[in-house]
Structure 1
Amino acid sequence: MGIFKAYDIRGRYGETLTLDIAHRIGRCLPQVVPARRALIGRDARASSPALAEALGRGLTEAGCEVDDLGPATTPMVYFLTARHGYDLSVQVTASHNPAPDNGFKISRREARPVGYETGLGRLEQLVDSGRLPPPAAAPGRRQMIDGLDEFLAFLAPWRPDLSDLRLAVDGSDGMAALVARPLLGDRPRYLADTPDGAFPSHAPNPLDPAGHGPLADCVRRERLDAGVIFDGDADRVMFIDEQGRFVRPDLMIAPIAGRFLRGEPGATVLQDIRTSRGVTEALVRLGARPAMWKVGHAYAKEKMRELGAVCGGELAGHYYFRDFFWCDSGELAALVALGELAAAHRRGLRFSDWLAPVDCYANTGELNYRIARKREAMEHVRRQLTAEREPLALLDFDGYRIEYADWWASIRPSNTEPYLRLIIEAGDAAHLHARREQIEKLLAPFVDGA
């Protein structure tokens, strides 16, 4: 797969993503996203300053006036893009990828995402053509600016009373270190809270047990009420309960939504196609209108706008907010979720008790199978399952979600990796095991190396 992905640009620095490519992207990008004013931010990776410079040089040669934030969280870039009317913004980051990787997350006006279908595909053609657009007659200028104080001031009213919670917060050696202490105070136990693009503490991917393991150990060892962990660029956040167990991120959609539904009953809440049925049922109990859509921030943000959704979330730990320009923010999600948890704690509920009504089904989590013939494999599973028994619902906008009264399965191709992804959920572990065996037998002939 090339560096131009479904949602962003990512590659190995010095190999698939070079300074020359970054410069070419800067020169070509205004051809795809017309822009006079552009904003750049970057994460803590060693390659990020050089990539930001090469990108900015290309943009100024194309005639853009470039404001450079320097180190920033990705949500900070989204916020300033929308708040100050930039035509274009780029965050230099590879998010949760390993340290040698880097990339670009690109947004247009109003912090609307630029995905492969909405610009990255065209940008790839221009960059790969070998021909640069002519430079502007009047080149732009690049200047450094500071947006952190304004971002923190925006988030300050969302800060909850956390005085009754004993917390640990893991910054994954990433950009959350810029905001975590100002927002959460000095009382939590902080881990990996110095930005270091080599990620010496652990991988910057909270979904990986190796990533969230140190935080889980800390919560258990110190008998804390909860743990909070951000990914490398702080657009995602995840949680550890009081028993040191990782909380599957889709489960947090419902309690986060509860904060908004109290003031706006009947509001729409977006969830991705992989979301637990327990979340959907909890949203209905809270008075929401649940809506389901494709996986990925480039799709979720546009669907949020279309539906006027008050908030939304994904299994990957992205949480979106209408009050945040329909963008995802790990920082805002952490404040809202911890505020709701603190209120539950004051009512005598532990984290696991509070979440139990949502986490009420047996679920495999997301399983990955290296399969080249993804489409053929998905169609085979769909045909076999629907021939055996007519489903209650069949969603087909992102792979398939096949719904039955007592179980469901989601099977879809990864948009970023060479995998077919599968999730199964059932009423109990025995039924779940049987359905997993059934579907894995159907997939077996297609698995690479089979």
Structure 2
Amino acid sequence: MILETGIHNTSEIGRLRKVMLHRPGLELENLMPEYLERLLFDDIPYLKDAQREHDAFADCLRQQGVEVVYLADLVVQSLTGREVREDLIRQFLDESGITDHRSRELLEDYLERMDDREMVAAMMAGVRKDQLRGSGGRLGDYLANLEDGYPFAVDPMPNLYFTRDPFATIGTGVSIHKMHTPTRNRETLFGKFIFEHHPEYRNAPRWYDRGETSSLEGGDILVLSPEVLAVGISQRTREDSIDTLAEAVLSYDGTFRKVLAFNIPKTRSFMHLDTVFTMVDRDKFTVHPNILSSITVFVMELDENRKMKIRQEDGRLEDILKEHLHLDKVTLIPCGQGSEIDAAREQWSDGSNTLAIGPGEVVVYSRNHVTNRSLEEAGIRIHTIPSAELSRGRGGPRCMSMPLWRDDP
């Protein structure tokens, strides 16, 4: 049950009331072995089973009283008039790099002939060149499909089911991100239209905008408490972005008092901060076993003159969390129970990427059974979901969810 409308997110563990998901669609059917690296995938999930698993995820959340809304529905509801729809088509084609006049003409005609829901689905799925042949009345339209060998007029967006990354809800506002790669940056266009035009969300304060020059991704943002925001300096989030975000969040007349910028390794296995640790209870966290020794954090606060001040702290993650969250004790739960083999295997399938739906209650992938046993032994209530296909995208339950409303912790 939603008590109010809009956005409210002041914690990783407050009771989850409303969440945005994206059910995998035909964008996964447009994955090809030759272009996996370009589209940031390691494998090709089987769509039918991926959808079945995702439906089980959504049902699990609903059974715990969470209202589930879908990205595509919110985008469709944001198309509040003819001008808004035309603007989305124009910006979509711009950001897809469609500069050739004839190609643009064909794509505009292809999208214009659809209703709103079909059009949004087509944008997400990508457009195969052979889908445009029926729109073309010129021989050149057919030859263009053969000359360069690339099968897509517009690339698919297979990463969309990881709704955590394109934008993040923080407090009562939102940051809409500039993604690290062009492949994913197009995803944030949908967030832009939601937060500019959707009747429920268009008035949300904006902490960061996708037009910035430096990358920021939602997997690097953890709302640790109503006063403390954590952001990862990672492979995909740059320090300049964190400066901008921290300035906006701390300057706003809200509750946040400090930003903790965690310096994490710039590698694929540490892609985002939420692959390093996630919060599962007020004093309990899952962790990547390779960061248990020491970590560097930069504490960002405003001084009495509202100017940013930064200090560096080096130490154990446990001690840093205790200090800044005012905890007497912190329990770190290592992925794979610390076993080199189990940790590597389950970290690969996002064993430490959990979604808290309340204090001490999380959603996890069933396949990470060693880590899941550790969570239960630590007193955490777990809800397991199937993940044989979803996990091929290299993201866990937290990655697949964007909280819109949580109760305060």
TM-score normalised to structure 2 length: 0.31
Q: RCO (CA 8 Å, sep 6+): is it higher in 1 or 2?
A: 2
TM-score normalised to structure 1 length: 0.29
